[in-house]
Amino acid sequence: MIHPSAIIDPEAQLGEGVDVGPFSVIGPKVTIGDRCSVSSHVQIASHVRMGKENRVFSFASIGAPPQDLKFKGENTWVEIGDGNTIREYVTVNRGTAHGGGVTRLGSQTLLMAYSHIAHDCQVGDRVVVANAATLAGHVEIGAGAIIGGLVGIHQFVRIGEFAMVGALSGVPQDVPPYVTAVVARPAKGPSLYGLNLIGLKRNKFSEEAIAALKQAYRILFRSGAPMSDALAKVDAEVQPLPEVRRLVDFIRSSKRGVLR
């Protein structure tokens, strides 16, 4: 059902069974997949490709121009997968030409009220971003990660899959996969607090994989060794399961350094 007070640009393409509530605005170059629900007072500004069965709640803003002074009106996009929940006052900005041109949101992800996804962010599947968390430009969030309320993530930072970032953290460096991080200000000791064991068990990681990740974690983050030496020791001593290799590869590929 399309409410008569909604404004929909003639260029917009809406799939079957799409609901659009009162006073919502859907602009040009927008595609919305089947069975999506757009509540009242939503703006889907332009240059948005949205999959099916997404729910967008009141006062959300999707596809507005990026908050980047270098942006000159280029044809950049927001791409959204299937089955996402985008709550009240969420903002998802378009990409920039110099940053790849696309802000991307996966599938089955929950963006809670007032959270912000800035230009060129890449957010994986089944991610939870809690209330008022803010992703600066070019941030990458791996599948299954959880970002706590009022978290601020610095531009270009990566959050690994199945990691959990605790509320009120300001995150200046990469967070490795599978861990729990809480970043205090001012710093008062370590930022990592072990593996995200509850998340790993809920997502059916094997006992063998969890045991190997525990061994690797102790070497990498609690041995006190320089990271290059710790990585070499993990290579030599820890069973090279896919989860361990992912953890090691993530750290080795970091450009900002990882929290410890």
Q: What is the pLDDT of residues 209-245, one digit of tens each?
A: 999 999 999 999 999 999 999 999 999 999 999 999 9
Chain centroid to CA 198: how far? 20
Active site residue 47: no
User: Which of 135, 63, 54, 51 lies closest to 102, judged by CA?
Assistant: 63
User: Which of 54, 51, 49, 144 lies closest to 90, judged by CA?
Assistant: 54
- The residue from 27, 137, 160, 199 that is catalytic is 137
Residue 90 resides in a domain: yes
Using an 8 Å Cβ cutoff, are 156 and 118 in contact?
A: no
Active site residue 249: no
User: What local confidence, expressed as pLDDT, does residue 186 receive?
Assistant: 72
Among 31-35, 69-73, 189-193, 211-215, whose mean pLDDT is lowest?
Answer: 189-193
- 122 with 240, same domain: the answer is no
- The residue from 82, 120, 144, 199 that is catalytic is 120
- Domain finish residue from 91, 122, 156: 156
Of all residues in the chain, the percent with pLDDT exceeding 90 is: 97
Residue numbers of the domain that contains 141? 7-156
Residue 139 has pLDDT above 80, yes or no: yes
CATH number for 226: 1.20.1180.10
- 13 with 130, same domain: the answer is yes
Residue 124 resides in a domain: yes
Q: Looking at residue 258, what DSSP letter applies?
A: B
Q: Looking at residue 149, what DSSP letter applies?
A: T
- The residue from 47, 116, 119, 138 that is catalytic is 119
User: What local confidence, expressed as pLDDT, does residue 213 receive?
Assistant: 98
What is the value of pTM for the model shown? 0.97
Residue 177 resides in a domain: no
- H or E element in which residue 63 lies: strand 61-64
CATH number for 13: 2.160.10.10
Q: What is the mean pLDDT of the chain?
A: 97
Active site residue 137: yes
